Amino acid sequence: METESTQEITVTKSELMEVLSRKQPQLAYKDIELAVKTILEQMTQSLSTGDRIEIRGFGSFSLHYRPPRMGRNPKTGDPVPLSGKYVPHFKPGKELRERVNASVNPSVSDNEKG
Amino acid sequence: MALTKADMTERLFEELGLNKREAKDLVDTLFEEVRCALVRGTCVKLSGFGNFTLRDKSQRPGRNPKTGEEIPISARRVVTFRPGQKLKARVEAYAGTSEQPQEPIQEQPRTSTDSE
C-alpha cells in the first residue's frame, strides 16, 4: 500500500533558479537560467546515448529496458505490436533516501536496507 | 563513462564561461536544493526533464533473504522520479526502439548498482 504524498507543494525549475540566483548574486540571472538548462540538457543527452548519471549523495539515473509486447488500440481493441524500448530510471542515493525518510520517521533510520 | 557533477561543472566552464568556482558552486547548489526540497516534503518539477515526487509507503511484511526470518518493513517515505515527455522521447529514440536492438548498451545501464 502506498499513497502519493498529499502535499501539492511543489518547487519548479524557475523557483530553483531564483534560489541559485540568491546564492550567487554575482551571476546574471540569464546565466543562471542558461546554466540550469545546460545541465538538464547534458543529463538528457547522456541518458539518450545510453550513459548513466551518477550524483553522489543524490542518486543515479540509468536506463531500464522494456521488452517488446503486444499492446492494444484503445479505440478498436485491435492488438498492436509494440517494440522494445528504454525508459529513464532514477535510483535515489543513500543520503537522499535516508534524509527523506528521516523527515517523517526520525526514529527508524536504522531499518533502512543498504 | 557515467556523467558526474565534475563533467557538468566542466561544461559550464567551457560553454558559459563561468569560472570553475562559480560553476562548481552552481552545480552543487542545484542538487542540494532539489534534495532539501524533497527532505522538506516538497515535490520538484523540472519541466522537460521530469518530476521528483514523494510516496508514503505503509508498513508491510518482509523477510530477511539470508535467514528467511520474517521482519516487518517499516512505513517509510520514498522519492520517485517520473521522466517528462521530452526526456522519455529522447531516450526512446536510443537503440532498442527499432526492431532489432543494436549492440547491448555499453556499461549495462540496466543494472542499478548503488555507487554511493
Contact B34 A58 (CB under 8 A): yes
Model pTM greater than 0.90? no
User: In the A/B pair of chains, how many CB contacts fall below 8 A?
Assistant: 239
Structure confidence at residue A108 as a pLDDT band (50, 70, 90): low
Instruction: Please report the pLDDT score of residue B1 as a whole number.
Output: 84
Look up the ipTM and state it.
0.84
Instruction: Please report the pLDDT score of residue B99 as a whole number.
Output: 42
Instruction: Please report the pLDDT score of residue A54 as a whole number.
Output: 98
pLDDT at B11 > cutoff 80: yes
Mean pLDDT of A51-64: 96
Mean pLDDT of A15-24: 97
The greatest distance separating any two alpha carbons of chain A, rounded to the nearest whole angstrom, comes to 59
Contact A9 B109 (CB under 8 A): no
Contact B11 A38 (CB under 8 A): yes
Residue of chain B with shortest Cα separation from A4: B55
Beta strands in B1-116 (DSSP E): 43-46, 50-57, 60-63, 70-73, 76-83
Contact B1 A36 (CB under 8 A): no
Q: How far is A71 from chain B (nearest CA, A)?
A: 15
Residue B85 to residue A60: CA distance in whole angstroms:
19
pLDDT (tens digit per residue) in B22-80: 999 999 999 999 999 999 999 999 999 999 999 999 999 999 999 999 999 999 999 99
Instruction: Please report the pLDDT score of residue B105 as a whole number.
Output: 46
Of B12, B39, B44, the CB nearest to A99: B39
Task: Calculate the CA A58 to chain-centre distance.
Answer: 10
Residue A4 to residue A9: CA distance in whole angstroms:
13
Q: What residues of B are in contact with residue A11 (Cβ under 8 Å)?
A: 33-34, 37, 42-45
Structure confidence at residue B95 as a pLDDT band (50, 70, 90): low
pLDDT > 90 in chain A, percent: 78
Contact B5 A56 (CB under 8 A): yes
pLDDT at B107 > cutoff 80: no
Assess B85–A contact: CB distance below 8 Å, yes or no.
no
Sole residue written with cell 540568491:
A22
pLDDT at A100 > cutoff 90: yes
Q: Which three cell numbers stand for residue B16?
A: 558559459
